[in-house]
Amino acid sequence: MKTEELIINPQGKTEEYFINMGPQHPATHGVLRLLLTLDGEIVRKVDADLGYIHRSIEKMTEFDTYRQIVHLTDRMDYLSAHMNNEAVCLAVEKGLQIEVSDRVKVIRTIMTELTRLSSHQLWWGVIGMDTGALTTFMYAFRDREMINDIFEETCGARLTMNYFVPGGLMWDIHPNFQKRVKDFIKHFKTKLPEYDTLLSDNVIFRKRTEGIGILSKEDAISFGVTGPGARASGVRCDLRKKHPYSAYDRVEFKEILGTKGDTFERYRVRILEMWESMHIIEQLIDNIPEGEILEKTKAVIKLPKGEFYQRVETARGEFGANIISDGKKSPYRMKFRSPGFSNLSVIDHLAKGWKVADLVAIMATFDFVIPDIDR
């Protein structure tokens, strides 16, 4: 290039180049492959290449009974395992036209809120790592460990719980459950302000996140973004408020809404959601009503012909389970609407024009779980 050209066009004409981010990359949190087109440090285009952990769960459901399908959903968004289970259970219950007891509803709500807390804790630890503060990860895991213990004691597993079954729960809660949950809430209320001191208020973190990757309300709706990512842009999309399921209609909580829609707003929404989750659990934990744990169902569940859809709010957004039944013991077709897939589509739009480091921060605030995207 001649010197005059550089003077006329001070930005110069630089060569764009491709770079493969993933499938083995620390910031993609799994086997997500992003094809970046970069101009120096600046991101020009993000192409997501999916399918590295595709296990065809939707196809597998066509050969499984409805009870067996539930345990597959554990393995999709493994950080929101209970919510995924709940979506399938509620859809099946819709088809069977059974109503679970109040006890089941309340326990399900407590469990899903605990899952939301544990998912957000892990996300907080990881966003610290993605922005370079490695210590947050261990602090988050310290608190998450308590929730995992609660799950292990009641459900028998720490990650893939398979605790909700169509018609109720696999077992009743463990006698220690209420005490442990209360201990955890007490502990976490002292630790959550520390999260703010360590990361939210930190000037470097603020500079890294404020005003970065702004998602407007209109874009959030048109890209189908749900969950905290959309609520940070001011979209009222909390299904717990809009279409209450389980016991959400009997608890009082705020739908956290942001205005700016930038990376920090998405961060803030998640932190505040942790407070709300604790608030919900506190309302329910002492008032678990008595009732049947498992409604009577046939040994092999057969849904009537038709289509049954149920959506729930996971830690990442709207998760939907759609069953098309032809009256047999397995669904004719089952489709899952996973929040991560829609949220991923907005990355290209958000990261354009920002730097590689910003792309990592933006990705971290959407909290992708790759098996959820690929299924």
Binding site for another protein (CB under 8 A): 17, 19, 25-27, 41, 64-65, 67-68, 71-72, 128-135, 137-139, 141-142, 145, 149, 152-157, 160, 162, 165, 170-171, 174, 194, 197-199, 201-208, 355-358, 360
Least CB distance from residue 183 to another protein, whole Å? Answer: 15
**Complex with another protein: residue 79 or 169, whichever CB lies closer:** 169
- Choose between 74 and 318: whose C-beta lies nearer to another protein: 74
Q: What are phi and psi of 284, to 5 degrees?
A: -95, -25
Q: Which is nearer to another protein, 60 or 221 (CB)?
A: 60
Least distance from C-beta 223 to another protein, angstroms? 24
What's the burial of 8, exposed, middle or buried (CB within 10 Å: 0-12/13-18/19+)? Answer: exposed
For residues 55 and 254, which CB has a smaller minimum distance to another protein in the complex? 55
Q: How far apart are CA 236 and CA 242, in angstroms?
A: 8
C-beta of residue 333 within 8 angstroms of C-beta of residue 308: no
DSSP string, 51-114: -TT---HHHHGGGS-HHHHHHHHTTTSGGGHHHHHHHHHHHHHHHHT----HHHHHHHHHHHHH
Secondary structure (DSSP) of 154-212: HHS-SS----EETTEESSPPPTTHHHHHHHHHHHHHHHHHHHIIIIIT-HHHHHHHTTS
CB of 224 to another protein, least distance (A): 27
Q: How far apart are CB 363 and another protein at their closest, in Å?
A: 10
Instruction: Please say whether the beta carbons of 108 and 247 come within 8 A.
Output: yes
Q: Name the one residue in this structure whose structure tokens are 């998602």.
A: 215
**Closest CB to another protein among 133 and 285?**
133
165-194 per-residue burial string, b: 16 or more CB within 10 A, e: under 16: bbbbbbeebeeebeebbeebbeebeeebee
Closer residue to another protein in complex, CB, 195/253: 195
Which is closer to another protein, CB of 6 or CB of 138? 138
- Spatial separation of the C-alpha atoms in residues 215 and 50, rounded to whole Å: 23
Q: How far is the CB of 217 from another protein (least distance, A)?
A: 26
By C-beta, is 162 or 277 nearer to another protein? 162
Q: Tell me how far, at minimum, the Cβ of 200 lies from another protein, in Å.
A: 9
- In the complex, minimum distance from the CB of residue 152 to another protein, in angstroms, rounded to a whole number: 5
| Angle of CA points 168, 174, 175, to nearest 5° | 130
> CB of 67: closest distance to another protein in angstroms?
6
CB atoms within 10 A of CB 359: 25
